[in-house]
């Protein structure tokens, strides 16, 4: 186990950072329990010379718990439901997926 993977396990076990979540792939429809770190950063979007602040919802999940997330899969946590809206992004170590979601 690398130092990064050990640190990742600690972070995802921390109740102040990570939450219990459920990933439901469209392909199987079988819910999978996982832990997720939720982030909601504002992003700046530009359209025809106008800059807008757009709120986003992102979830970081462990690839060992969510092995193959796809756009259209359902994701739920804390009573909120989401749909993965774009291809997941992997970290350099291929341990964490970042999921860009929208409200379901």
Domain 3-103 has CATH 2.40.10: yes
Average pLDDT over residues 30-51: 89
Contact in structure between 99 and 59 (CB atoms under 8 Å):
yes
pLDDT digits (tens, 9 = 90+) for 41-65: 777 888 888 888 777 899 999 999 9
- At residue 45, the pLDDT reads 80
Tokens read off for 89: 């992004």
Contact in structure between 76 and 66 (CB atoms under 8 Å):
no
Give CA–CA dist 78/69, Å, rounded.
Answer: 19
- At residue 77, the pLDDT reads 94
- At residue 85, the pLDDT reads 96
Average pLDDT over residues 20-45: 93
């Amino acid at each position: 186990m690398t130092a990064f993977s050990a640190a990742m396990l600690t972070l995802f076990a921390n109740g102040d950072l990570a939450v219990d979540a459920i990933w439901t792939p469209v392909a199987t429809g079988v819910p999978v329990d996982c832990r997720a770190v939720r982030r909601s950063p504002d992003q700046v979007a530009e359209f025809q010379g106008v800059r807008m602040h757009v709120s986003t919802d992102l979830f970081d999940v462990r690839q060992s718990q969510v092995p193959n997330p796809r756009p259209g899969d359902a994701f739920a946590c804390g009573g909120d439901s989401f749909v993965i809206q774009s291809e997941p992004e992997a970290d350099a170590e291929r341990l964490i997926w970042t999921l860009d979601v929208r409200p379901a």
